[in-house]
Chain A
Amino acid sequence: MSQVTLAGVELQLDENGNLIDRSQWNREVAAELAKEEGIDALTEEHWKVLDFIAKDYAEKEAVPGMRRMNKVGGIPTKDLYRLFPGGPIKKAARIGGFPKPVSCV
């Protein structure tokens, strides 16, 4: 666990660097977390992904996996890798203020 100040907010982070309390999250915090992930600016396309995760999380209490992003969110894998290079789900979850997705057994 650690503490960090981003966009003027004092944030509590878990061992993976993900927000512990999502009520501390806002779009400015997201922009700062994105920079840490090597994404200079969050575009409309990024927001489409982040908004889908938020909506799906509210419903399922879990960060959606790749296939759910494709099928339910309508966002192709290719785009996800372009938008969040390296590890799209992990990065998008962190930027969106959600815990690191845990793959089910």
Chain B
Amino acid sequence: MKTLAILGAGTAGTMMANHMRRKLKVEEWTIVIVDQNPDHYYQPGYLFMPFGIYGERDVVKPKQKFIPRGVEYRICAIDRIDPEANRVVLGCGNSIDYDVLIIATGTDISLEETEGQRGSDWQKHVFDFYTFDGARKLTERLKDWKGGNLVVNIAEMPIKCPVAPLEFTFLADWWLGKKGLRDKTKITYVTPLSGAFTKPVASRILDHLLEEKGIEVVSDFSIGEINNEEHKIVSWDEREVGYDLLVSIPTNMGSAAIERSGIGDELNYVPTDKHTLQSKVKDNIFVLGDATDLPTSKAGSVAHFEAEVLTENILSYIDERELEASFDGHANCFIESGHGKGFLLDFNYELEPVPGHFPIPKVGPFKLLGESRINHLGKLAFKYVYWHALLRAIPLPMVSHKMTRAGKQIPEVSPVAV
């Protein structure tokens, strides 16, 4: 018997367990998946909790429900990976010897990277919405909001779902308007980037939208400190923004188990071949989802597209064939823009998000890089797709892991995305 070990039972790991159990013979391969947390969170839902659109029950279900029969599921912390010995040492005191390893340990916020993050304002005036607990506490805080300075700050890139802070800002603008508090609230969007988004065409359109909504943007702001006494954030070049409520997106980092294993980069992400998804650590280690160092979004849609490529490549690896499947960096994200509308971005390593229609050229129904009601409905419908199809690795109709250029208005000299 051979063993395939999967580390992490989040979006990426769960999809791989489903894919691989279908492909590998039960009498030849044992599949083990390890995760320390028994709950599966629908992370895109965190964004909606503070505004009462989703409740806690919308975003959490037991992990066991999504792990297929024939896969051994261990609720256990991961201590470290020993690539030389092909072994994973678990926190429960035992270990797994594997033939093939899939790392899907994700990314999480770290509260240790910015001075003052965990100060006296933490979860009183300073909140995050990148964790279930954070979103829940922020929901409570917003119930008492009477107005003042609302500041949204990204500590540093890269972050999981790079559009989420913008969506939070747009939704806050809409929600405050509904509550009659918008004219009593100044919203400031403070970012380390030079504009709203990482890619130029989308950034221009989103910058314009921020301006239209009366949201002040402070750009190129590299946070040095949260000053809890004076309730302000201070950049390394000594600019200051005062807050009554700071919605902070702290530094995102890969799992500490990656650091303990000595196989990560400076943010604990695993160096990975951007096309084959084989790790640069060792041939029998593969990586997907937020745990990689790939230059594309850290998002569930990316993990979904990667899972298809990785399944093919692991099968090739096992059969000692060339790894022919190639991931193109395809990402697909809905952006909530408030007032029941949304945007849709579809892009990859080479092509930045541009206007157009998706998935059917000229028809849609979704509008790329343009605001529409159906985009918003698509985002809400996605929760159903996620729980019922995506996690179980049931293919989604018309959405391929290879990004299509059809239906996209591509500028003549296409700016190359990095």
Expressed in whole angstroms, the minimum distance between the Cβ of B113 and any Cβ of chain A is: 8
Q: How far is the CB of B164 from chain A (nearest CB, A)?
A: 12
Q: B residues 197-227 with Cβ under 8 Å of A?
A: 198-199, 220, 222, 224
A67 touches B418 (CB 8 A): no
Chain A 74-92 against B: per-residue CB contact (8 Å), 1 yes, 0 no? Answer: 0001101100011100000
Would B156 and A77 count as touching, CB distance under 8 A? Answer: no
**In the complex, A86→B77 CA distance in Å?**
42
Task: Kindly list chain B residues whose C-beta atoms are within 8 Å of the C-beta of A65.
Answer: 156-157
- On chain A, the residues within 8 Å of B193 by CB distance are 103
Residue of B nearest to A100 (CB): B194
Which B residues contact A (CB, under 8 angstroms)?
Answer: 156-158, 162, 192-193, 198-199, 220, 222, 224, 236-237, 251, 265-267, 295-297, 331, 417-418
Q: Tell me whether A72 is interfacial, beta carbon within 8 Å.
A: yes
Tell me if B237 and A85 are in contact (CB < 8 A). yes
Q: Quick check: A67 and B267 within 8 Å, CB to CB?
A: yes
A-B CB contact pairs (8 Å), 22 listed: A62-B418, A65-B156, A66-B222, A67-B156, A67-B266, A70-B266, A71-B266, A77-B222, A80-B236, A81-B236, A85-B237, A103-B158, A103-B193, A103-B198, A104-B158, A104-B295, A105-B158, A105-B162, A105-B295, A105-B297, A105-B331, A105-B417
Q: Is the CB of B236 within 8 A of A103?
A: no
State the A residues within 8 Å of B (CB). Answer: 62, 65-68, 70-72, 77-78, 80-81, 85-87, 102-105
The listed residue with most B CB atoms (<10 A of its CB), out of A65, A71, A72, A77, is A65
Would B266 and A105 count as touching, CB distance under 8 A? Answer: no
Closest 7 CB pairs of A and B: A71-B266, A102-B418, A105-B297, A103-B157, A105-B198, A81-B236, A104-B295
Contacts of B297 in A (CB 8 A): 105
B418: chain A residues within 8 A (beta carbon)? 62, 102, 104
Give the residues in chain B near A72, CB-CB below 8 Å.
266
Closest to B237 in A: A81
